[in-house]
Amino acid sequence: MGPEAQLTLDAMAADFVVDLSNVMRDDRLCGSRPVDLRRFLDLLAALVAYTGDEAVQVYAVADRSLLRQPGLTADEKATLHRWYERGRIEVRPGADDRLIELAETAELRVISRDNFEDAYREHPWIPGNRDRFLHAVSGPGGAGVVVVPRIMPTPPEWHISRKEEESRLLRAGMYDRRHATGARRELLTRQWRCPRRDCPMFGDAAAVDQPVPVYRQGVVRCPTHHEPMADIGPSTPRVQLKVRIDGVSQARFMVRADAAVVVGRAPVEPGGVALASWLTPSARNWISRRHVELSWDGTALAVRDLSANGTRIRREGTPETGRRIGAGRPWRLRKGEVIVLHEGVELVLSGRAFVFENPAQPPAPRGALAEEAATPTMIRRPKPR
């Protein structure tokens, strides 16, 4: 049976769904070329050996950039285009969403080295999964390919946020995967102005915290009006933090390089972040009105304890109680560390550097809490039922 006979776009007939681009670009498999069709052909042979079925059927999904990959030979390009035109492979702008969709709806096992971390929040069954994912590895002595099951990783919160950001930047053209340079920092650290002066995101009255523009055909464009935009200067470095209560993210807020932010039960400073609406009586009694001051220098977040009862720093994902920081002395927060104001009340640094949600005000607190509440800058998120 030839390889084309093993390809199908009938999800009910398929035995596996394969990330075609991921397999062909995996230089840990045969050969040293950046992209090689032989890796996929070896995988098809390996699946026959893995299942014992000569007629094993594969649903292959490729991202569109694969068909334009410069490293492909003329014969490889012709083969891929023939498969596409004959309805043997599916080609999409991005393959990941389709792979996960087929894994869920058709219960197909996925063959890919991708961890799909940007999909973890929407698909919580993925992290730690032991039976739905496989990947290809080199055979004995580097000959051919062998298929092996894999256990999906369970990464820390900041890592998931970073992968989500990478996906958003890719869709906006603001992440250069082809040249492996990553985020287009030279564009993402600038402010932009749309020629439509009334544009809500990039017009004359647009807020300081602009969303991510799009980069198309070598030009920065407005995502709403699709017109080229003017560079109006550098943007202020900023970072985003999450307020996490009992493991649930309830709010987000920004810290900019030009102004420190005070967080507590009900800080009086303009732009302070008030937590009173989310706190239990025990937490309200413990957390000071002005508990911590946060400042950002564009590289690291500094935490200064202002409280009466102290602030702790602990590693994400560990049961440890953490280390108490000295009162009034700045602590430079490291990657993977969490700021603990009270048991179950934490401030978590986002892994994102450019893609942020716009903060908004929560509902005003009622009763005795209303007397304490300062104007916060955050998003209220309902707790899951």
Kind and range of the H or E run holding 305: strand 301-305
The confidence score (pLDDT) of residue 359 equals: 53
Q: Answer yes or no: are the C-beta atoms of 374 and 258 closer than 8 Å.
A: no
What is the distance between the alpha carbons of residues 227 and 374, in angstroms, rounded to a whole number? Answer: 40
Residue 290 sits at φ, ψ, to 5 deg, of -115, 100
The confidence score (pLDDT) of residue 209 equals: 74
The confidence score (pLDDT) of residue 376 equals: 41
The confidence score (pLDDT) of residue 172 equals: 93
What distance lies between CA 359 and its chain's CA centroid? 18
State whether residue 141 is helix, strand or coil. Answer: helix
* β-strands 301-305, 292-296 pairing: antiparallel
The residues, ordered by sequence, that sit 6+ positions from 92 with a Cβ below 8 Å of its Cβ are 61, 62, 63, 64, 98
Tokens of 294: 């946060």
- Report the helix count and the strand count for the chain, using DSSP H and E: 8, 23
pTM, entire model: 0.66
- Residue type (1 letter), 360: A
The confidence score (pLDDT) of residue 379 equals: 36
The residues, ordered by sequence, that sit 6+ positions from 18 with a Cβ below 8 Å of its Cβ are 40, 43, 58, 59, 60, 61, 110, 111, 112
CA distances 248 to 160, 287, 345, Å, are 15, 18, 10
The confidence score (pLDDT) of residue 384 equals: 38
Note down pLDDT in tens along the chain; length 385 residues: 679 999 999 999 999 999 999 999 999 998 789 999 999 999 999 999 999 999 999 999 999 999 989 899 999 999 999 999 999 999 999 899 999 999 999 999 999 999 999 899 899 999 999 999 999 999 887 778 999 999 999 988 788 888 889 989 999 999 987 667 889 999 999 999 999 999 989 998 876 678 899 999 999 999 999 999 999 999 988 899 999 999 888 888 999 998 999 999 999 998 899 999 999 999 999 999 999 999 999 889 999 999 999 999 999 877 777 899 988 889 999 988 999 999 999 999 888 888 876 554 444 444 445 555 444 434 333 343 3
Measured torsion, CA atoms of residues 342, 343, 344, 346, in degrees rounded to the nearest 10: 40
What DSSP assignment string belongs to 205-264?
A: T--SS----EEETTEEE-TTT--B-EEEEEPPPEEEEEEEETTEEEEEEEEETTB-EEEE
Q: Answer yes or no: are the C-beta atoms of 178 and 21 closer than 8 Å.
A: no
Residue 261 sits at φ, ψ, to 5 deg, of -125, 130
Number of residues assigned to the chain: 385
CA distances 318 to 153, 267, 310, 321, 338, Å, are 16, 30, 20, 9, 10
The confidence score (pLDDT) of residue 143 equals: 78
The confidence score (pLDDT) of residue 340 equals: 96
Q: What is the 3-state secondary structure (H, E, C) of 331-365?
A: EEECCCEEEEEECCEEEEECCCCCCCCCCCCCCCC
The confidence score (pLDDT) of residue 358 equals: 56
